[in-house]
Amino acid sequence: MTGTGERMHALVERLYPLCRSITGDGVRDTLAIVDEYVPLRVHEVPTGTRVLDWTVPQEWNVRDAYIADADGRRVVDFAASSLHVLGYSVPVSATMTLAELRPHLHTLPDRPAWVPYRTSYYERAWGFCLAQDTLDAMPEGEYEVRIDSTLADGHLTYAEHVVPGQVTDEVIVSCHVCHPSLANDNLAGVAVAAFLARELAERTPYYTYRFIFAPGTIGAITWLARNAERVERVRHGLVLACAGDRGDLTYKRSRRGDADIDRVMRHVLSASQRPHRITEFTPYGYDERQYCSPGFDLGVGSLTRTPYAGYPEYHTSADNPDFVSPRAMEDTLAVCREAFAVLDRDRRYVNLSPYGEPQLGRRGLYDSLGGRSDAKQAQMAMLWVLSLADGEHGLLDVAERSGLPFETVADAAEALHAAGLLKA
């Protein structure tokens, strides 16, 4: 552990209490905090804006909400957790019996101590989420019910951070910022993305990296609608979610199934010998399904630990900061770092001395290996690169075919290029 895991976890804890949704001040407050870690360009898109086949909805904000018993005691209180209010609830101020209230209450009978996460984005409704244990303890009688919310024309908010590269071709990294108090889904992904952006900004990567912090589904759709002219620059992409639980890493392929990011993630996960799973694309899950939709067909995969809906705590109050592991977040960050290092260095070369094996010794290439613990590997890497440098094979092809570490292959290619034996 380098301490980065603890710092990411501290960011998760700080963001956790905020009431996020697909619009509203909770998203703005979240982005304002992330902006302290990595500078963001924030975009506001007005209600009613047409975005592909969708329309930006009204903005929702909630100031207070509660259910109080006859003694005025709040048995359900939004101030205690933002999960307690059904997302996008319309305003309510009424007194009603428990029987009248029950149709508006959401619980998890099989997990009686946990509060579920529920929303009603596109249907006007109201409700509360609470533990089944709390409901069971509520006696018959009248209750004061109040949801002090607004649902009015406003904006959808999303943000970007760009790390300029040596070329304008882009890698997008996307995470969703629309869930309320859920630590693994979505805050762990937000934290990993922010710290990954900080690391990349410390060097000049080959690709330009664009980090997108947007509400799920409607946010990604809005970004795509507003960036149609930029989409053709996107060469690779990764959606980050569920990045902090203690499960094994899971990579979900792009819709293409053989995009460069798919090959890179397979190679990195396999070479690292981490326990992991690679799954095929399905049109359900996170925003990879928007980026991979047929009209765009971007090479975007999804990296999680335990995948979407794959753990009992998913979309419940049990997905809290204690559920998120600093070590797991640091491991997720490390995999991203390793994968992007491969993306940045994967090149195709042409051998400029293709008739027979060039004499490496007189060019000082063998001498350059002196002192390397992997000198024999490095020598073999040079021979493999020269053999496959036909303009058709990339360095990842070389690493996969030779069984050599990608970094060793890339180092060998750079040495051969510097000696005038290769051209990109």
Phi/psi-derived region of residue 87, left when phi > 0, alpha when psi is between -120 and 50, beta in every other case: beta
Identify the segments of the chain with pLDDT beneath 50. Answer: 1
**Domains of the chain by start residue, with CATH:** 4-57+155-345 (3.40.630.10), 59-152 (3.50.30.90), 348-423 (1.10.10.10)
CB-neighbour burial class of residue 123 (10 A; exposed 0-12, middle 13-18, buried 19+) = exposed
C-alpha closest to that of 395 among 247, 233, 206: 206
Of 35, 3, 33, 5, whose CA–CA distance to 18 is shortest? 33
Q: Contact at 8 Å (CB) between 159 and 298? A: no
pTM of the predicted structure, to 2 decimals: 0.95
Structure tokens at 226: 């507003």
What are 252's strand-pairing partners?
Answer: 279, 302
> Does residue 10 contact residue 332 with C-beta atoms inside 8 Å?
no
For 100, residues 6+ apart whose C-beta sits below 8 A from its C-beta are none
d(CA 297, CA 299): 7
Question: Distance (Å, rounded) from C-alpha 65 to C-alpha 80?
Answer: 10
Alpha helices in 187-324 (DSSP H): 189-201, 218-226, 228-231, 260-272, 288-291
Contacts of 80 (CB under 8 A, 6+ apart): none
